[in-house]
Amino acid sequence: MMVPVRRQAAERFSQAAALLPWALRQGAERLPETDKARVEELRLRAGRPPTAVLPEGEVPLPGLEGERVTGEDLRLVLEVATQASAHAVLDRVREGFVTVRGGHRVGLCGSAVCENGAIRTLGSLSSLSIRVAREVPGAAAGVRPMLRDAGRTGGTVILSPPGGGKTTILRDLIRRLSDGIEGPPLRVGVADERGELAAMYDGLPMNDLGARTDVLDGCPKAVALKLLLRAMNPQVLAADEVAGPEDAAALEEAAGCGVALLCTAHAAGPEDLLCRPVFRRLVRRGVLSRAVVLTGRGEGRRWTLAELGEGGPC
Amino acid sequence: MLRLVGALLLTAGAAGLGLCAAGQLGERVRSLRSLVGGLEILKRELSFRRTAMPELMERTARQAGEPARYLFARCRDHLEELGERSFGQIWVRALEAEPELLLTREERAVLAELGQVLGRYDADGQIAALERAEEGLKVCLARAEEDRRRLGRVYTALGVGSGAMLAILLL
pLDDT, position A6: 59
Report the DSSP pairing between strands A155-160 and A260-266.
parallel
Instruction: Report H helices in A232-303.
Output: 245-255, 270-273, 277-284
Write out chain B residues lying below 8 Å of A87, CB-based.
46, 50, 119, 121-123, 126
Is the CB of A83 less than 8 angstroms away from the CB of B120?
no
CA atoms within 13 A on the CB side of A240: 27
DSSP conformation letters of A7-21? HHHHHHHHHHHTTS-
pLDDT tens per residue, range A265-275? 999 999 999 98
Is the CB of B52 less than 8 angstroms away from the CB of A75?
no
Cβ(A202)–Cβ(A128) below 8 Å = no
The pLDDT confidence band at residue A94, using thresholds 50, 70 and 90, is confident
Q: Which of A286, A287, A262 is nearest to A187 (CA)?
A: A262
Question: Looking at per-residue confidence, does A56 or B41 come out higher?
Answer: B41
Question: Looking at per-residue confidence, does B56 or B84 come out higher?
Answer: B56
Q: What are phi and psi of A180, to 5 degrees?
A: 75, 35
Mean residue pLDDT across chain B: 88
Q: Which of A118, A105, A179, A112 is nearest to A144 (CA)?
A: A179
pLDDT, position A310: 60
Q: Which of A151, A174, A166, A142 is nearest to A265 (CA)?
A: A166
**Angstroms from A122 CA to nearest CA on chain B:** 10
Q: Is B50 on the interface with A (CB under 8 A)?
A: yes
**Angstroms from A228 CA to nearest CA on chain B:** 26
CA atoms within 13 A on the CB side of B91: 20
Domains in chain A, start-ordered, CATH in brackets? Answer: 2-131 (3.30.450), 144-307 (3.40.50.300)
**Angstroms from A187 CA to nearest CA on chain B:** 33
Question: Looking at per-residue confidence, does A152 or A291 come out higher?
Answer: A291
pLDDT, position A214: 95
Cβ(A182)–Cβ(A144) below 8 Å = yes
Average pLDDT in the A233-244 region? 91
pLDDT, position B71: 95
pLDDT, position A174: 96
Cβ(A288)–Cβ(A309) below 8 Å = no
Least CB-CB distance to A87: which of B54, B84, B122? B122
Mean residue pLDDT across chain A: 87
Minimum CA–CA partner of B91 in chain A: A84
Residue A311 has pLDDT above 60, yes or no: no
Q: What are phi and psi of B80, to 5 degrees?
A: -65, -10
What span, in angstroms and rounded, lies between the C-alpha atoms of B155 and B171? 24
What span, in angstroms and rounded, lies between the C-alpha atoms of B133 and B144? 16
Q: What are phi and psi of A126, to 5 degrees?
A: -115, -30
Residue A314 has pLDDT above 70, yes or no: no
Question: Looking at per-residue confidence, does A137 or A114 come out higher?
Answer: A137
Helix (H) / strand (E) element for A205: namely strand A204-205
The pLDDT confidence band at residue A312, using thresholds 50, 70 and 90, is low
Candidate from A57-61, A170-174, A189-193, B159-163 with smallest mean pLDDT: B159-163
Least CB-CB distance to B79: which of A18, A83, A120? A83
Average pLDDT in the A142-168 region? 85
pLDDT, position A254: 85
Average pLDDT in the A231-240 region? 93
Percent of chain A with pLDDT over 70: 95
DSSP conformation letters of A133-196? P---TTTTTTTGGGSGGGGTSSEEEEEESTTSSHHHHHHHHHHHHHHTTTS----EEEEETTS-
Q: Which of B150, B129, B159, B135 is nearest to B11 (CA)?
A: B159
The pLDDT confidence band at residue A2, using thresholds 50, 70 and 90, is very low
The pLDDT confidence band at residue A3, using thresholds 50, 70 and 90, is very low
pLDDT tens per residue, range A195-235? 889 888 767 888 899 999 999 987 888 899 999 999 999 99
Q: What are phi and psi of A177, to 5 degrees?
A: -65, -40
pLDDT tens per residue, range B96-113? 998 888 899 999 999 999
What span, in angstroms and rounded, lies between the C-alpha atoms of A313 and A87? 44
Coil/strand/helix, residue B11: helix
Which of A72, A83, A113 best tests the B interface by mutation, with the highest count of B CBs <10 A? Answer: A83
Residue A46 has pLDDT above 50, yes or no: yes
pLDDT tens per residue, range A23-32? 999 999 999 9
This model of the complex carries an ipTM of 0.72
Coil/strand/helix, residue A285: coil
User: Could you give the angle at the alpha carbon of B112 between the alpha carbons of B106 and B115, nearest 5°?
Assistant: 150
Is the CB of B120 less than 8 angstroms away from the CB of A84?
yes
Minimum CA–CA partner of B48 in chain A: A88
Cβ(A255)–Cβ(A262) below 8 Å = no
pLDDT, position A1: 34
pLDDT, position B164: 79
**Angstroms from B125 CA to nearest CA on chain A:** 9
Residue A162 has pLDDT above 90, yes or no: no
Q: Is B52 on the interface with A (CB under 8 A)?
A: yes
What span, in angstroms and rounded, lies between the C-alpha atoms of B107 and B69? 17
Is the CB of B120 less than 8 angstroms away from the CB of A75?
yes
Which of A44, A70, A87 best tests the B interface by mutation, with the highest count of B CBs <10 A? Answer: A87
Question: Looking at per-residue confidence, does A24 or A100 come out higher?
Answer: A24
Minimum CA–CA partner of B90 in chain A: A84
Q: Is the peptide bond before B67 cis (omega within 30 degrees of 0)?
A: yes
DSSP conformation letters of A254-273? HHTTT-EEEEEEE-SSHHHH
What span, in angstroms and rounded, lies between the C-alpha atoms of B114 and B91? 9
* Total CB pairs under 8 A between chain A and B: 61
Name the domain count of chain B.
1
Q: Which domain holds residue B159?
A: 2-170
Read off the amino acid at residue B82. Answer: L
